[in-house]
Amino acid sequence: MGVLLISQHSVLVLSSLAYHNFEGVVLREDEKPRLVADLGNKNFFMLRNHGLIIFAGIIQEAFLRMYFFETTCTIQVRAQSGHDDLIPIAPEIIASAGEQVKQATRQSGGALAWPGLLRKLDRLDPSYRE
């Protein structure tokens, strides 16, 4: 099944999501070319029945991408628990989503939100700095 196109967050995730089918623990040399081919130039890489890998240039960007993915999953699970037909977003929206995000964030890669998140963490539990 995978991520469904049912929320704004899912549009952002699906604009850069790749999947790789489970082949066991990722240790075999012959699987490496398939991993690379499946990943392509995406930032979210779901290893089915295994877990998620996030690709980013800086920690701020990685955190924000993980936040968006987790939020996407939470929205999807809650929506599916309603037992109603879900209203999908048109697939052609995905094509422009990446560019829209770059425009909205001025290509800051999560750096815009990071200072605020650290201030919140300082208020909640400053012991992480130790």
d(CA 16, CA 98) in angstroms, rounded, equals: 8
Are 31 and 52 in contact by the 8 Å Cβ rule? The answer is no
Q: What is the set of domains in the chain, with CATH numbers?
A: 8-129 (3.40.225.10)
pTM score, two decimals? Answer: 0.82
d(CA 17, CA 4) in angstroms, rounded, equals: 12
Instruction: State the helix-helix crossing angle for 59-80 and 114-124, rounded to 10 degrees.
Output: 80
Q: What is the dihedral of CA 97, 47, 74, 11, to 10 degrees?
A: 10
pLDDT in tens, 39-86: 999 999 999 999 999 999 888 889 999 999 999 999 999 999 998 899
